[in-house]
Amino acid sequence: MNTMKWLLRREFWEHKGSFFWAPLAVAAAMILFIGGGFLYSMAFGGPQNIQFDGQTVVSFQGFPPALRYKIANIAATSYLGVAAPLFLVLSVVVFFYCLSALHDDRRDRSILFWKSLPLSERDTVLSKVITALCVAPMITIAIAVATGLLLLVLGMIGISSKGLNLFAPVLSHPGLYLSPLYLLAFLPLYILWALPTVGWLLMVSSWARSKVFLWAVGTPLIVLMLLTWFNFLVGQFSSSIIDIDFFAEQVILRGLGGLTPGVWLSEIDGSRFTGMDQGLDAMLVLGESYRTLASPGVWVGAVLGSAMIYAAMRLRRYRDEG
């Protein structure tokens, strides 16, 4: 365990710019532009007619209590939604981290130093898997929660200056405090859905001698093009063709897009989420998300991802010796 702790620290120190400073820079930009907009409106904005829920209200002071509490409920349960760009940054950062994780050590020959230490291939590769699937998402979640809370406070300050005080109903709403826990509850689901992508990228990273991105992305795209061409030729004489849509959705999109948080929502019937005009029902979204685990494809992908991670361990040793 002590060895793994130091391996994880090594990964964080070497990639601190990607895991910490990149999302922090995006969060700072969001606070500057969105929070600055709230403060600008507070300082210079004049009274406006507001259309809300089919009703026109002249200035925030004219809001009826029912609408006030409805807005507070939406704000308290959905404030983390404003941090969605941070999770897009996470997917890009982890994608390129996995691509370079096992390749860069060979390219700059620093692997000779690490091979001189009593570290197994298993621990080295697993430290990179844990970093990609746990450490990086948890850092992003922490920054996202802080960003969402700060923007929520700035928004409430801006609105209160116009006569609509939301502090009491928002601060007393349990969703304000449970939302970060709900976000953490998605982490096991994210790990399972991301395993095929992480496994594929690490396997390519451990095998390719150069042009890792082209091997990782180009290979499945070329296979897709060849299958499409095969279907075109065979389709002239027979109706027995390969299901290209299945390959594109279940192999390419799952294999390359599994690092995108919330990718499993595409498997859920959108009608299940209707009627959330009173605020985000996090328990419903969480429950429907975990129901996707009933699909055999999720577990097949997780098994294949684990197999590719094991292959990355073996290939790393083979490539080192070569």
**250 is a domain residue:** yes
Are the C-beta atoms of residues 61 and 162 closer than 8 Å to each other?
yes
For the chain, how many structural domains are there in total? 1
- How many Å apart are CA 181 and CA 197, to the nearest integer? 25
**186 is a domain residue:** yes
Residues 6+ apart with CB under 8 A from 167: 156, 160
CA dihedral 206, 132, 96, 30 (to 10 degrees): -170
**36 is a domain residue:** no
**322 is a domain residue:** no
Which residue range forms the structural domain that includes residue 191?
2-30+61-317
pLDDT exceeds 90 at position 26: yes
**pLDDT tens sequence across 45-100:** 655 555 555 555 545 555 667 777 888 888 888 899 899 999 999 999 999 999 98
**43 is a domain residue:** no
Q: What is the pTM of this model?
A: 0.87
Q: Which helix (H) or strand (E) holds 49?
A: strand 49-52
pLDDT exceeds 70 at position 107: no
pLDDT exceeds 50 at position 321: no
**49 is a domain residue:** no
Q: pLDDT-based confidence at 116, cuts 50/70/90?
A: low
**133 is a domain residue:** yes
**55 is a domain residue:** no
